[in-house]
Amino acid sequence: KAGVTQTPRYLIKTRGQQVTLSCSPISGHRSVSWYQQTPGQGLQFLFEYFSETQRNKGNFPGRFSGRQFSNSRSEMNVSTLELGDSALYLCASSIRDRNTGELFFGEGSRLTVL
Amino acid sequence: QQQVKQSPQSLIVQKGGIPIINCAYENTAFDYFPWYQQFPGKGPALLIAIRPDVSEKKEGRFTISFNKSAKQFSLHIMDSQPGDSATYFCAASRQGFNKFYFGSGTKLNVKP
């Protein structure tokens, strides 16, 4: 069974640009969450989608947005990039939308903002 | 405000030692406490998880101890091996919310 797939794995952008990251969950998983991982802050929750609806949202500015498609694939977008947005962005899928199961993480998309 | 506090930040033990990683939380509504293991270049993977109705859970060489009154939980790794060298994260979530609060991570180095 294929795991969570994130693309692209690495990308470099400059301040002010925008970026879109993609996540394909494990087949059958309907919940997709996004986390930002940085050395100083650890893993911080961005948002969670279930059946194309945002169910939970973290404390990030409106520049961070996401969506989920009918096939459960998800994208997140960061507009007007800032240097502090440099991080590993992790996508996680789970089989249910409640905290009754584990999160399956992808290997992440490493974003560098210059 | 960090919802889950984790210590130590790093840990070095000899092979066969028992590293212990501690976490504390404030929100009494949390009812699911997983531990994740992350190797360089990989995403975190679930190691073991516990709910507050039990005080201890063991899976292989990994044990979670849970103290509900103190709002603390810890991970013990028995007979640690060099292959256990990784970063470990504790986490917590509330019933009905698929939103996890992670600790800041502990980088474990098990020396041969």
| Whether the Cβ atoms of residue A63 and residue A55 lie closer than 8 Å to each other | no
A105 CB neighbours in chain B (<8 A) are 36, 43-45
Which residue among A33, A44, A58 places its CB closest to the CB of B98?
A: A33
Q: pLDDT per residue over A63-104, tens digit each?
A: 999 999 999 999 999 999 999 999 999 999 998 756 566 899
pLDDT level of residue B45 (50, 70, 90 thresholds): very high
B97 and A56 in contact by Cβ < 8 A? yes
pLDDT over threshold 80, residue B108: yes
pLDDT level of residue B2 (50, 70, 90 thresholds): confident
Give the three-state DSSP class for B61: coil
A45 and B101 in contact by Cβ < 8 A? yes
Which residue among B44, B97, B99 places its CB closest to the CB of A105?
A: B44
Which amino acid is located at B58 in the chain? K
| d(CA A60, nearest CA chain B) in Å | 14
* A-B C-beta contacts closer than 8 Å: 69
A42 and B103 in contact by Cβ < 8 A? yes
Task: Tell me the C-alpha distance between A85 and A9, whole Å.
Answer: 16
pLDDT level of residue B95 (50, 70, 90 thresholds): confident
Q: In a mutagenesis test of the A interface, which of B98, B101, B107 is the best target, namely the one with the most A β-carbons within 10 Å?
A: B98
Q: What is the DSSP letter of A98?
A: S
By C-alpha distance, the chain A residue nearest B93 is A99
| d(CA A113, nearest CA chain B) in Å | 19
C-alpha B67: how far from chain center: 14
Residue with tokens 């986390």: A35
Q: pLDDT per residue over B61-83, tens digit each?
A: 999 999 999 999 999 999 999 99
| Confidence at residue A10, expressed as pLDDT on a 0 to 100 scale | 97
| Confidence at residue A99, expressed as pLDDT on a 0 to 100 scale | 57
Q: Which residues contact A26 (CB under 8 A, 6 or more apart)?
A: A1, A2, A3, A4, A93, A95, A104
| Confidence at residue A95, expressed as pLDDT on a 0 to 100 scale | 81
B96 and A99 in contact by Cβ < 8 A? yes
| Confidence at residue A40, expressed as pLDDT on a 0 to 100 scale | 77
pLDDT over threshold 90, residue B57: yes
Q: What is the CA radius of gyration of chain A?
A: 13
Among B73, B82, B87, B74, CA closest to B36: B87
Q: What is the mean pLDDT of chain B?
A: 94
